[in-house]
Structure 1
Amino acid sequence: MDMDTVSALAEGRQVVTVRGAKNATDLPWNPHPAFDGVSLKHLVTGADTDGALSCHLVRVAPGKTLKTHVHEGQWELHEVVAGEGVAGIDGATTRYRPGVVAVIPKGLAHEVTAGEAGLCLFAKFFPALL
């Protein structure tokens, strides 16, 4: 799965909140501030929801890892939309492939490693990532 394929997941999609609508295609991919080979497309931000939730497309390049980390204040929901990989959640290993959804409670250590084809997640945070 090349990055053009991942980018196409947002093509023509519209994100609508009470603050207005935005075209997902026009939103930029942002390098993750801590993890090499990981980028995010911020579809819904805390500013859109008064801090209640945020939603992001997360693309992980082949073989790259969102190393072990914890979100102390947010529950996280991963929906695998493309590619494949492996998640470690509180010491348990889960195979990530399209159709898998994982719920990660706040304060729980987790990591995600993309497979040979890369990985794309729809990640939601409750409350929003700041």
Structure 2
Amino acid sequence: METQEITDSLTNGAITYIDKEEAAGDIPWNQHPIFQGVYLKHLVKGADTQGKLSCHIVKLDPEAVLEKHVHEGQWELHEVIEGEGAFFLQNKETPYHPGRLGVIPQGVEHKVAAGKSGLVLLAKFFPALL
């Protein structure tokens, strides 16, 4: 399966819970409230997981940057599914491409920069971000 197909499948797929099913295609994209060229689709929210986890598709336009920031109360897991870029965790830079995962402990500063083709990743938070 091509990376674009994976992104499309997740963006338009379905989420199954113990008591309901939700169409991911019905969940809106949101412009990130701070970072330009960054869009979020909140697939799984804390309201559906007793606050234990959340899962979001994060789409960065070409050359967009999710500047340095910290999540004081959550661990975060990135799963890169499309595009390319760079991940900055404290003082270390790592290439981001499909198949790469990034583990960010709570309270640790990090940044993501998309390359020329943009970048799409799943961001999972423990406990839930939203």
Normalising by structure 1, report the TM-score: 0.91
The percentage of aligned residue pairs carrying the same residue is 51
- On the 8 A contact 2:7/2:81 being kept in 1, the answer is no
How far 1:8 moved relative to its partner? Answer: 2.2
**Alpha-carbon separation, structure 2, partners of 1:19 and 1:30:** 26
1:17 equivalent to 2:17? Answer yes
State which drifts further: 20-29 or 75-84: 20-29
Task: Give the direction of change, closer, same or farther, for the CA distance of 1:44–1:124 in structure 2 (3 Å limit).
Answer: same
Structure 2: runs of 5 or more not aligned: none
**Alpha-carbon separation, structure 1, partners of 2:11 and 2:125:** 22
Q: CA RMSD in A?
A: 1.7
1:17-96 alignment, distance < 5 Å: 17-96=17-96
SS for the counterpart of 1:129 is: coil
**Alpha-carbon separation, structure 1, partners of 2:17 and 2:93:** 35
Structure 1: runs of 5 or more not aligned: none
SS for the counterpart of 2:129 is: coil
- Deviating 4+ runs (over 3 angstroms): 4-7
Task: Give the direction of change, closer, same or farther, for the CA distance of 1:38–1:11 in structure 2 (3 Å limit).
Answer: closer
- On the 8 A contact 1:18/1:48 being kept in 2, the answer is no
**Alpha-carbon separation, structure 2, partners of 1:117 and 1:13:** 23
**Alpha-carbon separation, structure 1, partners of 2:12 and 2:70:** 33
SS for the counterpart of 2:25 is: helix
**Alpha-carbon separation, structure 2, partners of 1:98 and 1:88:** 16
**Alpha-carbon separation, structure 2, partners of 1:33 and 1:92:** 26
Normalising by structure 2, report the TM-score: 0.91
